[in-house]
């Protein structure tokens, strides 16, 4: 406003301040994304700390994602962890677009949305990572 009042034309003011506005908006977006990532990391650490007290316990979870090395499982309490293929029946696993993981050896297929019983085997508070194994089928 002061630039306009000091005699700069509307076009000059628009040119000068448009760059500032776009740079400010870009910086604000980057800062917000960083804040969200930090918040999620912090929440993950708290969830791992909570699950640390439940190592060895079994829970019913839901497959939320499939990757070449395993399945991400969400528990009803919002904790999420990895069921690594090392902790699944032996075999060669193939992932299909993060939707399913199939054991080519025995034909077993796990799909997003499937319910699965898992056992907590590790919870690393520093990294916020929780590891699962398949629960014993007695």
What domains sit in the chain, N to C, each tagged with a CATH number?
1-138 (2.40.50.140)
Q: What is the pLDDT of residue 37?
A: 75
Say what the pLDDT of residue 7 is.
62
Residue that has been written with the tokens 């969200």 in this structure: 36
Question: What is the reported pLDDT for 18?
Answer: 81
Q: Are strands 70-74 and 109-111 parallel, antiparallel or unpaired?
A: unpaired
Element (H, E) at 66: strand 58-67
pLDDT tens across the length of the chain (138 residues): 565 556 667 787 777 778 788 888 888 888 787 777 766 768 999 999 999 999 999 999 999 999 999 999 999 988 999 999 999 999 999 998 889 999 999 999 999 999 999 999 999 999 999 999 999 864
- Indicate the pTM of the whole model: 0.73
The DSSP symbol for 92 reads -
pLDDT for the residue numbered 34: 74
């Amino acid at each position: 406003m002061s630039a306009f009042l000091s005699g700069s034309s509307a076009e000059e003011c628009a040119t000068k301040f448009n760059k500032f506005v776009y740079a400010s908006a870009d910086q604000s977006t980057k800062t917000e994304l960083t804040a969200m990532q930090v918040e999620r990391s912090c929440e993950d650490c708290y969830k791992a700390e909570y699950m640390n007290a439940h190592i060895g316990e079994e829970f019913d979870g839901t497959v939320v994602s499939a990757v070449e090395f395993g399945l991400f499982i969400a528990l009803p309490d919002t904790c999420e962890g990895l069921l690594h293929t090392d902790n699944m029946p032996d075999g060669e696993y193939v992932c299909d677009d993060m939707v399913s993981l199939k054991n080519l050896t025995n034909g077993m297929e796990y799909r997003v949305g499937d319910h699965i019983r898992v056992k907590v085997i590790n919870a690393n508070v520093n990294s916020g990572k929780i590891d699962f194994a398949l629960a014993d089928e007695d």
